[in-house]
Amino acid sequence: MKSRNKRIVLLVAIVAIVALVWFGRHRIHFNWSVFAEQLRLADWRRIVFALGCIYAGYFIRSIRWALLMRHNRKVGPLSLLGTQVIGFTAVGLIGRVADLVRPYLVAKKTGEPLSLQIAVYIVERLCDFGAMALITSTVIVLAPRGSLPHPEVLRKAGYWGLALTAAGALFLVLVRLAGGMVGSLLGRGFGIVSKSAGAAVESKIHSFHSGLDTIRSFADFAYTASLSLAMWVLIALAYLETALAFVASPELAAMTPAKAVLLMVVSGGASVFQLPVLGWFVQIGVVEEAIRHFFAVSPEASLGCAAALLLVTFLGIVPVGLVWARFDHVSLTKVTRESEHAGEELAHQVGGTPAQEV
Long-range CB contacts (within 8 A, 24+) of 210-217 = 210/119, 210/179, 211/118, 211/119, 211/120, 211/122, 211/123, 212/123, 212/172, 212/175, 212/176, 212/179, 213/71, 213/119, 214/68, 214/69, 214/71, 214/119, 214/120, 214/123, 215/68, 215/123, 215/176, 216/71
Residue 26 lies in a domain: no
Burial category of 200 from C-beta neighbours within 10 Å (exposed 0-12, middle 13-18, buried 19 and up): middle
Residue 23 lies in a domain: no
- pTM of the entire structure? 0.82
Q: Which domain holds residue 332?
A: 2-17+61-357
Phi then psi for 352, rounded to 5 degrees?
-115, -145
Average pLDDT over residues 96-119: 89
Residue 344 lies in a domain: yes
Mean pLDDT of the chain: 82
Q: Is 71 helix (H, G, I), strand (E, B) or coil?
A: coil
**Per-residue model confidence as pLDDT tens digits over 63-99:** 999 999 888 889 999 999 999 999 999 998 888 888 8
Better-predicted residue by pLDDT, 302 or 346: 302
**pLDDT classification of 23: cutoffs 50, 70, 90:** low
Cβ atoms 55, 78 nearer than 8 A:
no
Residue 45 lies in a domain: no
> C-alpha angle 151/284/27, rounded to 5°?
80
Residue 48 lies in a domain: no
The per-residue pLDDT for 218 is 81
Residue 92 lies in a domain: yes
For the chain, how many structural domains are there in total? 1
Neighbours of 290 (CB within 10 A): 21
Average pLDDT over residues 208-219: 73
Residue 24 lies in a domain: no
Of 9-18, 53-62, 117-126, 169-178, which range is least confident? 9-18
Report the alpha-carbon distance of residue 263 to residue 291 in Å, rounded.
7
Residue 54 lies in a domain: no
Rg (CA), the chain: 21
Report the alpha-carbon distance of residue 247 to residue 40 in Å, rounded.
10
Report the alpha-carbon distance of residue 321 to residue 332 in Å, rounded.
10
> C-alpha angle 129/132/138, rounded to 5°?
130
**Per-residue model confidence as pLDDT tens digits over 177-198:** 776 777 777 777 777 777 777 7
Residue 177, CA distances (Å) to 49, 122, 208, 324 in order: 42, 17, 12, 40
